[in-house]
Amino acid sequence: MNDKTENENSMINNYLAHQQERNALGIPPKPLDAGQTADLTELLQNPQDADPGLVYDLIAGRVPAGVDEAAKIKAHFLAALARGEKSSPMVSAEQAVYLLGTMGGGFNIDPLIELLDDLQLCSKAADALAATTLIFDAFEKVFEKSAVNNQARGVIDAWAEAAWFLRAPQVPETITVTAFKVEGEINTDDFSPASEAWSRPDIPLHATAMLRNRIEKPLETMAELRQKGHPLAFVGDVVGTGSSRKSAANSLLWHIGDDIPHVPNKRRGGVVMGGKIAPIFFTSLEDAGALPIECDVSGIENGDVLVIRPHEGVIENADTGKTVAEFSLKPATILDEVRAGGRIPLIIGRTLTEKTRTRLALGPSEIFCRPVQPGKSPRGYTLAQKMVGRACGKDGVRPGQYCEPKMTTVGSQDTTGPMTRDELKELACLQFNADLVMQSFCHTAAYPRTVDIKMQESLHQFIKQRKGVALHPGDGIIHSWLNRMLLPDTVGTGGDSHTRFPVGISFPAGSGLVAFAAAIGFMPLDMPESVRVRFTGTPAQGLTIRDVVNAVPYAAIEQGLLNVEKSGKKNIFSGRIMEMEGLSHLPVTAAYELTNAAAERSAAAAVISLDEKPVAKFLKQNIEILSLLVREGYGDRNTIEARMEKMQAWIDDPQLLHADADAQYAADLEVDLSRITEPIAACPNDPDDVRQLSQIAGTPIDEVFIGSCMTDISQMENAGKILENAGGAVPVRLWIAPPTRLAARHLRHQGWFYTYGRAGARMEVPGCSLCMGNQARVADSAVVVSTSTRNFPHRMGNNCQVYLGSAELAAVSAILGRIPDPDEYRNHVADAGLVPAI
């Protein structure tokens, strides 16, 4: 036996051993990597004693789709088999063409187009291409060939007739499921625990952690429910709040969805029912081909067998025959999305069909259900409606209008980035079409596992190869950097729920939609309604922008527009755009705290009206920062320099959009800042549960965290000024994490690191640190005052109780070892010589 044959046999033996290990966990083996695929192609040519069924199954179904390196090896090998350049006793030329047609798009497309000229294989190549939608630039090759090649003409006709769509089964009249119901609010951290973020790209493995912090024995419970013989449908009162992580949807669909043919370790479909489904989670389900249904779930119990009638909008109890809920499907295209395998496949396929029909001088296809567009209105546009309108080449867009705004800026971070990378591969993306795509490494920089180090290195190169901007571990938080790359009044997205631009507007999304936006350069959007938040009055001296942030839910609760209870949840902001007015003088960094906090309101997006002066100042600073990146060798250099040029062009001719006076809003909320006489904090463990300081004063605390994207240099300095008066180490565990390396360098040079050290602070690598809780965590059952974004159960630590407030309040609490009363807070702020921050 030669070394080559020994390596190939070793590959099979290693794979079988790995398969056995994974079987013990109840999950399938990982997809093949490039090295394994290369060995497999050799084995297919010279199988020796290999099991032919196993070897064929591996090449057919265990190699990733799209433009993965393993897929490249597979496509080249199959193309060589089809051309007769290589041979295999296990895969005929005809089978090779068939397998090329199952690879989605990317490296398989050119060989299939070439095979349209092969007399023996042309019809099979045509069948494969007719069912493929990830064609992109290769469309012109097929269209040109169609003038002289009947098979190519057949492909063009099939695209025009949407054969790729019609081959898929329609959504049935009835769907029978068993309800897997979890009471209360189920957030994305319940579905995809932050502590297990390292495993998110490995969907089956990560899914084993789903709900482990929420209910007892979730996997065993689901296994028992499956014994009833029906697929499971997930049911909850409030479903999918919190972060935008697509891993939450991936984990859920692993348990309730269906395998995707020829795409290993990923599932689609399934049914999710909720009294309220958070907007980002809803769209993530859409993108994955699931059927999300918002309805009253109070009549559904765990274990009920349900008959869903999707075309009628009725859910019945299978045992009693009684109707337990009624619903309206949304959006209007949802059944087409399910049939196509997801919203993104539908958009890509529908675009291909319409492009083909246009070239053939045919009218629009009548096969698809079209988005229902709102009627014309004589009213003006809101600020958000104008921003999105400009990105669509219009004056504005109306609520409910389907549109596809241009993506000017797209952000990705490292616990969702690996999934975004996988989605980009499946989309056959080799270069970004969005103007600027930025990747950060803020969640894994501080305490990386070996798997994190490998991810950081490979993902950094992946982004740069596609002309994106890749930061380095230790540079800091995604938002603190991405905000420095924004252009006023433009539209973008990001794979983190706190991607909420302080200038322009962002619609955060799961990794699938983020990948689509980065690759294609636009994103699908059903324009949400807007809620106007008008700030009036002036808060008391010593209060901060974080108190203004918390004043929004405080006022909404007072006015009956928001409640804390999960059953019968009321939230005027959910799924809508928060449009804020009355603080136009704010620095952009302070404005970001307000737009950022829209994530905790479950808003679809947020905008704030600012004056030209603070925006111009911000952009001038940003040009200097981006120039530094260029000098330090960050890439892609051309992308960074192009953004700097556009910033300078705006500075040279500063113009900002503004809402029309007669614009219409779904609701108005007035926040009278003169009524804020003391700090406001969010209480454990709900960012909506805000209370005045006097209501929580005296609560003993164990730990304090000052950091996250809700802090900037000025707040870090204010905390330092307060801590200077501590006279030594504070009586609690104190964590401090600067948002960026530039902020850390400034604070160090100004001597604040010395102050933090005297107070006994644990200094963290610039980045997210405790905010997400995927690496460093507070002690079990600790009571914490934190400046972080949210305080969901178990997020920062097991069974911890977290209060959210300003850096100033956190510093005073650290000194006292308890939450201060208003007078104590004011005295410490005054002793530190602090001036109002608003």
Q: Is 771 annotated as a binding residue?
A: yes
Q: Of 804, 817, 708, nearest to 760 (Cα)?
A: 817
d(CA 817, CA 825): 13
Taking the C-alpha atoms of residue 609 and residue 443, their distance in angstroms, rounded to an integer, is 31
Q: How far is CA 684 from CA 270, 564, 700, 805, 836, in A?
A: 33, 11, 13, 12, 27
Decide: 65 and 103 in contact? Cβ < 8 Å: yes
∠ CA 636-640-641, rounded to 5°: 115
Q: Is 637 helix (H, G, I), strand (E, B) or coil?
A: helix
795 annotated as ligand-binding: yes
DSSP 406: B
Is 244 annotated in some ligand binding site? Answer: yes
Is 200 known as a binding-site position?
yes
Beta strands in 458-508 (DSSP E): 469-470, 491-494, 505-506
* φ, ψ dihedrals at 653, nearest 5°: -140, 75
Other beta carbons within 10 Å of 140: 11
Torsion angle, CA of 35/36/42/43, rounded to 10 degrees? 160
Per DSSP, 591 falls in state: H
Please give the helix or strand (H or E) that residue 450 lies within, else none: helix 450-465
Angle at 290 between CA 183 and CA 429, to 5 degrees: 130
Q: What are phi and psi of 132, to 5 degrees?
A: -105, 135
Q: Is 219 helix (H, G, I), strand (E, B) or coil?
A: helix
Residue 128: CB atoms within 10 Å: 24
Angstrom distance (rounded) from CA 231 to CA 174: 13
**Amino acid at the residue 495:** G
The total of other beta-carbon atoms located within 10 Å of residue 572's CB is 18
Residue 768 assigned as binding residue: yes
414 annotated to a ligand binding site: yes
- Listed in sequence order, the residues at least 6 apart from 151 whose beta carbon sits closer than 8 Å to its beta carbon are 116, 122, 123, 125, 126
C-alpha dist (Å) from residue 266 to 157, 259, 611, 813: 31, 6, 47, 46
CA nearest neighbour of 567 among 214, 191, 236, 216 = 236
φ/ψ (deg, to 5) at 753: -65, -35
709 has binding-site annotation: yes
Residue 758 annotated in ligand binding = no
Q: Which residues contact 454 (CB under 8 A, 6 or more apart)?
A: none
122 is in an annotated binding site: no
- Residues with Cβ within 8 Å of residue 348, at least 6 apart in sequence: 133, 134, 427, 520
244 touches 283 (CB < 8 A):
no
Q: Where are the alpha helices (DSSP H) in 490-587?
A: 511-520, 545-558
| The pair of three-digit structure tokens given for residue 179, joined into one six-digit string | 């309800």
Using only the alpha carbons of the chain, give its radius of gyration: 27
Give whole-number Cα distances, 157 to 126, 143, 355, 434, 813, in Å: 11, 10, 12, 31, 70
Annotated binding site for [4Fe-4S] cluster: 709, 768, 771
Annotated binding site: 200, 243-245, 413-415, 497, 709, 768, 771, 790, 795
Annotated binding site for substrate: 200, 243-245, 413-415, 497, 790, 795
